[in-house]
Amino acid sequence: MRKTIIAGNWKMNHLGSDAKATITGLVSRIPQNVKSEVVIAPVFPYLPMAVEFTKGTPVHVAAQNMHWEESGAYTGEVSPAMLVDIGVTHVIIGHSERRTYFNETDETVNKKADAALKHGLIPIICCGETLEQRERGIMQSWIEGQIEKALKGLTAAAMTKVVIAYEPIWAIGTGKTATSAQAQEVCAIIRKKILALYGSVAADSVSVLYGGSVKGKNVAELTGSPDIDGGLVGGASLKVDDFMAIIENAVIK
């Protein structure tokens, strides 16, 4: 029931010409019958271009953030309705960089997740612990708390549309990668928490991704784990060859 998803988060990278070259290069190489769900998340100015160049291909387009309100006096923000209007299908919510640099909280993550689902967007909800939290032995309670707060008020039916991305903060952009055993341990914790909150149908439907220096050489071991259903890919999604290696080597369950 679970999809294997390979999602590329471009963060604040690529000018227009680079974005175009990466998108066109990707769609020219990705087979129409690719078994994993492929998602790319360019920066806001290039979302319309990404939608245009991926039309009719297996590649979906995500935004890296959004506001939860429909419209209003929220300078610099983008609403879920606006994303839907231009053809975006997914949205990343609560990435650790949003939490660290822009004061994203579990409560705002929850509001955004609810708004995304109400507008038919697929939320990729991020969670993860710092090295300090892991070393203090509070990793499990921290992750479970993030999940419970992020999903508060969502229905079991809505949960079948949700994607969770586990991103150990200590492994993002550092070149470090959690071992497959470490990543599997936390992804299993996430799935068990969803099971406790929403039951087996939701737990068996939610794709749980691993994010943190995912590469072509480690994606098979990661996605071969029982509870890891794909990757939220950072730097490697900016280069077609690197991203294709991840797509091609991912294990399809």
* Residue 94 marked in a binding site: no
SS3 247: helix
**Distance in angstroms (rounded) separating the CA atoms of residues 43 and 191:** 30
**Is position 173 annotated in a ligand binding site?**
yes
Question: What torsion, rounded to 10 degrees, do the Cα atoms 51, 230, 214, 101 define?
Answer: 60
**Known catalytic membership, residue 95:** yes
Is there a binding annotation on residue 145?
Answer: no
* Residue 235 annotated as part of some ligand binding site: yes
Active-site entry in 67, 90, 95, 119: 95
Residue 213 in marked binding region: yes
234 is in an annotated binding site: yes
Tell me if 170 is assigned to a ligand binding site: no
Residues contacting 89, CB < 8 A, separation 6+: 39, 60, 61, 62, 121, 122
**Strand (E) positions, 10-148?**
37-41, 59-63, 90-93, 122-127
Helices of type H across the chain = 16-29, 47-54, 80-85, 96-101, 106-118, 131-135, 139-150, 156-159, 180-198, 200-205, 219-223, 240-249
Name the residues annotated as catalytic: 95, 167
